[in-house]
Chains A and B, each alone.
Chain A
Amino acid sequence: MASLPTTLSARPLGHRELIWLAAGFLLASVPHLSRMPMWISVLVVAIAGARLVQLRMHGTRPRKWLLVLIAVGATAGILLQYRTLFGRDAGVSLLVVMLALKLLETRNQRDGILLGFLGCFLLVTNFLHSQTIPTAAYMLGCAWLLVASLIGMQYTGPWPGWRQPVRRAGVLILQGVPLMLVLFLLFPRIQGPLWGLPQDAYAGLTGLSDNMSPGSLNNLILSDAIAFRAAFRSGIPAPKDLYWRGPVLWDYDGRTWTAPRIIQNTSDLPAGDSPIEYTVTLEPHNKRWLFALEFPGVRPPRSVATRDMQLLSFTPVRTRIRYDMVSSAAGAYGADDDRALLMRSLRLPADTNPRTAAFAQELRRKFPDDRNLVAEVLTRFRNQNFVYTLSPPLLGEHPVDEFLFETRRGFCEHYASAFTVLMRAAGIPARVVTGYLGGEVNPVGEYILVRQADAHAWTEIWLANIGWVRVDPTAAVSPARVERGIASALPRSDPLPMFVRGDFALLQQMRLTWDSVTYTWNQWVLGYTPDRQRRFLSQLGFSAATWQTLTFMLMVCTGIALLIGAVLALRDLRRAHLDAIKAVYDRFCRKLARRGIQRGSAEGPRDFAQRAGRQRPEIAGAVAEITRLYIALRYGAESRPEQVKAFKNRVRGFDA
């Protein structure tokens, strides 16, 4: 067993130690490298590579001025790239570059230990980008390697093989688990994520937006990213009832539908007979919409409800949030909406889609009753060879005209748009509602998984004395979309994300299990909010815990954990003392080995001393005395500090 020294030294590091360090550093920065600008990634890999080459070729230490030059240049480059040195991306880039430079000049143990600890710090910054289970597992692996290389640097005796430091690191990490749990459970929580600081954290989030034009939903359909999950209290409703309401689009410019900027709030939410209770866990999408089944019966905390039945959070949703919802399957709402509001949902831009307008007038003459008119349009959709497809032909200047009378191939947004225009042209107030339809039931976790691919658009029309009623023209064209989901409605030739189609049963099962695990992780680890913490503590009998009680409990628990650790460590103290004696003896043996007297691994100290004495009679006396002290300290009952000191001094003064 190799022994551990007691003091930090300027001992030069060996090849093995430097390679371990470099590997730990590179593995910790690999996720960053893919996210940083190309030139930084290349620079970092080049510096690390240069260090390894230098190691191989026994090259000289790089000049100080060169290091300073690279450091200043890289800092300037980062400043130019990001216009700042702070914030998540610029800060992490700077850290990675500087650590790479540190690796280049690392020579001795002190530098190595510093680099090891900074590597751990770098590791943590990966969580600024991703907090998933695979990330956590990868980080754990990197941390293990870094700890193992920190331990590996401490060996002064013969190298015990890579297993021992790796095992020690594992034990060390396991010993830290109780402390980690205490800190996780009891450290006072801050609302929102700790790293929600920089603005650039929200680039690249996908989701529905406040406008819709032909083709804009298609991109969403191709994404199997998760929009939200919903767990129902009692039974999951049929897919055709799962209309998750999102942005409501009022204004049409002949091509694009847009949501109004300002909408009146309302506190009058419909209360139906059969409320559906469920909990939504919404992924961040950087917009204010909170999705709920039609029609929402309550308002989630920190949000408002609008007159057109949208739920808007006070602030954009930038972290995963959870809210409890009650929806009622009420058929209609807003029968008493005022004139101005209805006028707005009749507006059409002039000089667009003339054939549609003419067709609507014709229908109006034939069917004075609104309901009959709607029925007629839907019948036409059903019977006139309209096709539901993800890849419709491009539409020109009058998109609705072209779609209704020529191409007849489209996606839900085409149908919703065309139908709404038709209704407005016929004098029926109408608007487009976007959101999600259906979702995938996860039998593993008993919840519904709604992906971006489930995005949908439908129409709402206002009927006198009844109010706003949902009409989904897509249902007329492709009932399968509504009843069985997107995958069964589209022709097989249309591209869809693999996971949405669900062809492979085993894959599907694995995927659902994995999603269930992720859901639990999100709920209990990432979603461990102050609220959850309070609930958890009240289950333990500490109701209304303030941060003072939390801090107190934290200190008590940490103290207990440390005390147990200390008791266990003290039991090994005599061992450590023995190991220190052995380390000094090893140093003595190395001194002799340098003079060509090598101790065999199975050679006892007395035998070795006799042999050394025979080989070099002039040092026989010194060797015998050191060996006598060593034997007395390590194998005898001797342990007086002055004897230990005498032994150390003699070894230090020994010169073979």
Chain B
Amino acid sequence: MPSPLNAVTDQINRIILGKTHQIRLAIACLLARGHLLIEDVPGVGKTTLAHAIATSLGLKFQRIQFTSDLLPADILGVSVYNRDTGSFEFHPGPVFTNVVLADEVNRATPRAQSALLEAMEENQVTTEGETRPLPRPFFVIATQNPSYQVGTFPLPESQLDRFLMRIELGYPDAQAERALLNGMDRRDLLGSLKACLEPEGLARLQREVQQVQASPALLDYLQALINHTRQAPEFEHGLSPRAALAMLQGSRAWAYMDGRNHVLPEDLQTVLPAIVAHRLTPAGEMRSTSRNDLAAQLLQQVAIP
């Protein structure tokens, strides 16, 4: 792994214990210029992870706690009448930053959720008829509670599709949990984090990820996977071209973090569950299968050409 990234992951691993794979996936997601969705029950360290990533990468960080009475203006910003100048002045919302942590995004109403979406897709914000660009890089790290919990508005498929990856943290294992209990307070640790990258550093890494080679053979495999989801009966609908691009970028980022300049089928296999699980819906006899199992099954069924 390129050395600055090593430092980043090491630092985050010291705060979030026993979640090396998830942390790597999260970093890969940002390297692939995608937005990240972290889904899990409360209290497993979603927010801490988002915070740690932003700080370690040397990015400006804003947190928005999504609640059911959150309004778009609370995210995007408002124009306020300035009596001195006699005109309206725009007060940018928390979205104008490098990393937005949208905490518990599925507790807000769809109206507030969709305000975030334009920002995610277009890297710009339109309020009161005026379009304002967001700073670069711009990431959304959203956390959400499992949708069966009370008081949630599940994100529709179209919005889920805009997150390049979705990861689950899960409970730590006994050893990691013991280390957590023995260790310092996480909030204090967060305060001690330092930036391992300058802001331009991330942009450079992202450019290098784009240089990673995906050979025709690898693209064959990727397309075979995509086609399988479009043809096999166990999927409600196939993966979108956006998902295909996400798979390509994600596996490039993974190969890059592995220190290679070409993508292997294994890279694609590793990142695939995080990329497609939230985009696939089981159908027919498979209706009771979990989305994660569905992704694993997809990998089982498609041969590497």
Question: Which residues does A use to contact B, with CB under 8 Å?
Answer: 1, 574-575, 578, 582, 601-607, 631-632, 634-637
The interface stretch among B6-14, B69-77, B257-265 is B257-265
A604-B269, A631-B264 are contacts. A578–B303 as well, Cβ < 8 Å? no
Across the interface, which residues of A come within 8 angstroms of B305, CB to CB?
1, 582
A-facing mask of B270-305, CB < 8 A → 1, else 0? 000000000000000000000000000001111111
Q: Determine the distance from Cα of A578 to Cα of B263 in the docked complex, in whole angstroms.
A: 16
Across the interface, which residues of B come within 8 angstroms of A1, CB to CB?
220, 305
- A634-B217, A637-B213 known; 14 new pairs, CB 8 Å cut-off, are A1-B305, A578-B215, A602-B301, A602-B304, A604-B265, A604-B304, A606-B266, A631-B262, A632-B262, A635-B218, A635-B263, A635-B264, A635-B265, A637-B262
Q: Are A607 and B266 in contact (CB under 8 A)?
A: yes
Ordered nearest first, which 7 A-B pairs have the shortest CB separation?
Answer: A601-B303, A604-B265, A604-B266, A636-B262, A635-B215, A635-B262, A634-B217
Q: Are B213 and A636 in contact (CB under 8 A)?
A: yes
In the complex, B216 has a CB within 8 A of chain A: yes
Q: Determine the distance from Cα of A603 to Cα of B305 in the docked complex, in whole angstroms.
A: 10
A604-B269, A605-B264, A605-B265 are contacts. A635–B304 as well, Cβ < 8 Å? no
Q: Are A578 and B302 in contact (CB under 8 A)?
A: no
Question: Which residues does B use to contact A, with CB under 8 Å?
Answer: 213, 215-218, 220, 261-266, 269, 299-305
Q: Can you report 7 residue pairs joining A to B where beta carbons are below 8 Å apart?
A: A1-B305, A575-B216, A605-B265, A635-B217, A635-B265, A636-B215, A636-B261
Q: Determine the distance from Cα of A606 to Cα of B213 in the docked complex, in whole angstroms.
A: 17
- B262 to A: closest C-beta gap in Å: 4
CB closest residue in chain B, given A575 = B216
Q: Are A637 and B261 in contact (CB under 8 A)?
A: yes
Q: Are A604 and B217 in contact (CB under 8 A)?
A: no
A636-B262, A637-B262 are contacts. A601–B217 as well, Cβ < 8 Å? no
Across the interface, which residues of A come within 8 angstroms of B213, CB to CB?
635-637
Across the interface, which residues of B come within 8 angstroms of A605, CB to CB?
264-266
Across the interface, which residues of A come within 8 angstroms of B218, CB to CB?
635
Across the interface, which residues of B come within 8 angstroms of A578, CB to CB?
215-217
- B285 to A: closest C-beta gap in Å: 21
Q: Are B262 and A602 in contact (CB under 8 A)?
A: no
CB closest residue in chain B, given A610 = B266
- B57 to A: closest C-beta gap in Å: 29
A1-B305, A636-B261, A637-B261 are contacts. A602–B300 as well, Cβ < 8 Å? yes
Q: Are A602 and B266 in contact (CB under 8 A)?
A: no
Across the interface, which residues of A come within 8 angstroms of B304, CB to CB?
601-604
Q: Are B261 and A574 in contact (CB under 8 A)?
A: no
Across the interface, which residues of A come within 8 angstroms of B216, CB to CB?
574-575, 578
Q: Determine the distance from Cα of A370 to Cα of B265 in the docked complex, in whole angstroms.
A: 104
Across the interface, which residues of B come within 8 angstroms of A607, CB to CB?
266
A607-B266, A635-B262 are contacts. A582–B217 as well, Cβ < 8 Å? yes
- B280 to A: closest C-beta gap in Å: 17
Q: Determine the distance from Cα of A634 to Cα of B304 in the docked complex, in whole angstroms.
A: 12
CB closest residue in chain A, given B300 = A602
* Candidates A601, A603, A606, A634; contact of B215 at CB < 8 Å: A634
* Candidates A582, A602, A634; contact of B302 at CB < 8 Å: A602
- B171 to A: closest C-beta gap in Å: 27
- A629 to B: closest C-beta gap in Å: 13
- A649 to B: closest C-beta gap in Å: 21
The residue in A582, A605, A635 that gathers the most chain B C-beta atoms within 10 A of its C-beta is A635
Across the interface, which residues of B come within 8 angstroms of A582, CB to CB?
217, 305
Across the interface, which residues of B come within 8 angstroms of A604, CB to CB?
264-266, 269, 304
Q: Determine the distance from Cα of A604 to Cα of B217 in the docked complex, in whole angstroms.
A: 12
- A632 to B: closest C-beta gap in Å: 8
Across the interface, which residues of A come within 8 angstroms of B215, CB to CB?
578, 634-636
- B194 to A: closest C-beta gap in Å: 35
Q: Are A602 and B263 in contact (CB under 8 A)?
A: no
Q: Determine the distance from Cα of A634 to Cα of B213 in the docked complex, in whole angstroms.
A: 11
Across the interface, which residues of B come within 8 angstroms of A574, CB to CB?
216
Q: Determine the distance from Cα of A635 to Cα of B300 in the docked complex, in whole angstroms.
A: 21
Q: Determine the distance from Cα of A554 to Cα of B249 in the docked complex, in whole angstroms.
A: 52
CB closest residue in chain A, given B224 = A1
- B219 to A: closest C-beta gap in Å: 10
- B66 to A: closest C-beta gap in Å: 39
The residue in B218, B261, B263, B304 that gathers the most chain A C-beta atoms within 10 A of its C-beta is B304
